[in-house]
């Protein structure tokens, strides 16, 4: 008789490994509790519609990576691929967000039907936090600080690097999307069938895949030709990604330079600090602040760069 094995990409947690997991879970729970976060637990299995609405039907996660099946009643069910959707559903269903501020955290297994490889499993474990009822950059600064302190308490701060990224505002993303669609519409005949479909549903994914194919194509062509060394290939790929980065920043930040003030080193990364800064700036300039973004953060010196964007040009006042 054939011996039954675990499903590929879903591993057992053996007794000799359990103490390390327990240490991680206990350390994180203690840290989050100190910041006022409470644990929430929600089902591993949810209606498929929940993830289609929250993640988007045309994303790779929904289209290709979810464990989805029909139950005996014919209802479509999905093993959760991430935690945010289930957490929001639980809060809405149990009226936890009505005129309330909630700081919540969760942990547990998530599932994605991907090709198993090093560092990527079909069942993986995730710790996440969600905050409801708070707006502005204050909570972002809190989460960044909390993450860094978690690394310190786990003893891994010297082997990891914190990198910050921003998707911009709804307005800037809209301008970027429109510019991208206009550019791709003129070259629609050069896109494959999948990218042409994404042009109407999710054009940002075309950009990601186009740059990825460009880098892979450069590497493959040069490797086959045998003219360049591995180090030279890495250099070329790095140049390509630098060009991509500069293009994205130009699209997102064009026409905003005259509306921005940069504070290079704000001391003490605390939520209250940002509120005081924004209030003082509006009072002194007489201009309405559009948004604030946290840039470079130096946790060793406990300072951060903050970019303040106004609705009008600073030169107008």
Q: pLDDT at residue 270 above 60?
A: no
- 18-134: CATH architecture: 2-Layer Sandwich (3.30)
Q: What pLDDT is recorded for position 63? A: 63
Residue 314 exposed, middle or buried by CB count within 10 Å (0-12, 13-18, 19+): middle
pLDDT band for position 192 (50/70/90)?
confident
**298 - beta bridge partners?**
303
Q: pLDDT at residue 310 above 80?
A: no
Q: pLDDT at residue 254 above 80?
A: no
Q: What is the pTM of this model?
A: 0.57
Locate CATH 3.30.930.10 in the chain: 18-134
Got the DSSP string for 40-53?
Answer: ----SEEEHHHHHH
Q: Write the CA distances from 246 to 111, 174, 202, integer angstroms.
A: 35, 18, 22
Percent pLDDT > 90 in the chain is 31
pLDDT band for position 293 (50/70/90)?
low
Q: What pLDDT is recorded for position 39? A: 97
* Average confidence (pLDDT) over 109-135: 86
Q: Do 138 and 271 contact (CB within 8 A), yes or no?
A: yes
Q: What pLDDT is recorded for position 57? A: 54
pLDDT tens per residue across span 3-20 = 999 988 899 999 999 999
- 258-316: CATH architecture: 2-Layer Sandwich (3.30)
Q: pLDDT at residue 266 above 80?
A: no
Locate CATH 3.30.70.260 in the chain: 258-316
pLDDT band for position 186 (50/70/90)?
confident
* Average confidence (pLDDT) over 80-89: 93
Q: What pLDDT is recorded for position 305? A: 64
Helix (H) or strand (E) holding 108: strand 102-111
Secondary structure (3-state) at 86: helix
Top pLDDT among 230 and 174 is at: 174
């Amino acid at each position: 008789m054939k011996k039954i094995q675990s499903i590929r990409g879903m591993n057992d947690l053996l007794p000799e490994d359990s103490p390390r997991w327990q240490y991680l879970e206990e350390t994180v729970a203690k840290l989050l509790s100190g910041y006022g976060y409470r644990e929430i637990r929600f089902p591993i299995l949810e209606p498929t519609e929940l993830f289609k609405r929250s993640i988007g039907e045309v994303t790779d996660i929904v289209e290709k990576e979810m464990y989805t099946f029909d139950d005996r009643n014919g209802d479509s069910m999905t093993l959760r691929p991430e935690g945010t959707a289930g957490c929001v559903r639980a809060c809405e269903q149990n009226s936890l967000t009505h005129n309330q501020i909630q700081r919540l955290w969760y942990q547990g297994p998530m599932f994605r039907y991907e090709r198993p490889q090093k560092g990527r499993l079909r069942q993986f474990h995730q710790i996440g936090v969600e905050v409801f009822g708070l707006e502005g950059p204050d909570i972002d600064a809190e989460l960044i600080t909390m993450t860094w302190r978690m690394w310190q308490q786990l003893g891994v701060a010297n082997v990891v690097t914190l990198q910050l990224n921003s998707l911009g505002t709804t307005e800037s993303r809209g301008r970027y999307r429109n510019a991208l669609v206009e550019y791709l519409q003129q070259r629609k005949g050069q896109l494959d069938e999948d990218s042409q479909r994404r042009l109407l549903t999710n054009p940002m994914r075309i950009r990601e895949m186009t740059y990825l194919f460009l880098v892979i194509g450069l590497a493959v062509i040069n490797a086959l030709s045998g003219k360049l060394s591995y180090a030279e290939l890495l250099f070329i790929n790095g140049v390509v990604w630098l060009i991509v980065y500069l293009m994205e920043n130009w699209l997102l930040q064009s026409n905003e330079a005259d509306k921005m003030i940069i504070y290079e080193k704000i001391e003490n990364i605390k939520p209250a600090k940002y509120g005081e800064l924004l209030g003082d700036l509006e009072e002194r300039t007489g201009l309405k602040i559009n948004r604030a973004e946290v840039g470079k953060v130096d946790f060793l010196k406990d300072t951060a760069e903050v970019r303040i964007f106004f609705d009008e040009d600073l030169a107008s006042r």
